[in-house]
Amino acid sequence: MKVFGQILFALSLMTFSITSHAGSKVGYVQMKEIMQSQQSIDVGKKLMTEFKPRNAELEKFRKQIQEKETALDKETTTMSQKDLAAKRQEIDYLKIDFDRKKIRQHEDFLLRKQEELNNFQNDVNAAVTTLGQSEGYDLILYNTGGYIGPKVDVTDKVLKLLK
């Protein structure tokens, strides 16, 4: 995939060099800067806020299990072996349930994260398209590049459009 991107970039540069004589306008977007922008950080904050109640619920459940284990440790000497085994089994089932909930939450988080990243990428693509059309660019590249001169770097303009 990386080789394909490099080939595509090389072809783009060849196209640029061929058409540059005709006065083509080219721009470049630094995706690293876009992904470190406030807009990207806001996407992360949105996800953290969305999952905060579920994290709190999991933490509460974890503490309940710990409290039951602590209580069982204190009562071990006064309980019969049968009751002790039943309580330990109950705690083991709670731990299994906790692990399942934790895995389910992690999977849900990953799905939501991917959705938000896709939406953000679509917003970036829309901003690049808007910029290209409104300012008459013939080509705007992003993601790869050896050297990008300041004349063609349009990252700040794309960030303004994302706001």
Domain extents in the chain: 2-162
**Is 0.75 topped by the overall pTM?**
no
Q: What angle do CA 36, 38, 39 make, to 5 degrees?
A: 95
Query: Considering only CA atoms, which of 131, 122, 115, 124 is closest in space to residue 30?
Result: 124
Query: Considering only CA atoms, which of 45, 68, 63, 61 is closest in space to residue 116?
Result: 45
pLDDT band at 145 (very low <50, low <70, confident <90, very high): low
Question: Which position has the higher pLDDT, 42 or 143?
Answer: 42
Question: Which position has the higher pLDDT, 114 or 143?
Answer: 114
Neighbours of 119 (CB within 10 A): 11
Q: What does the alpha-carbon distance between residue 138 and residue 16 come to, in Å, rounded to a whole number?
A: 9
- The β-bridge partners of 141 are 28
**CATH of the domain spanning 2-162:** 3.30.910.20
Q: What does the alpha-carbon distance between residue 62 and residue 96 come to, in Å, rounded to a whole number?
A: 11
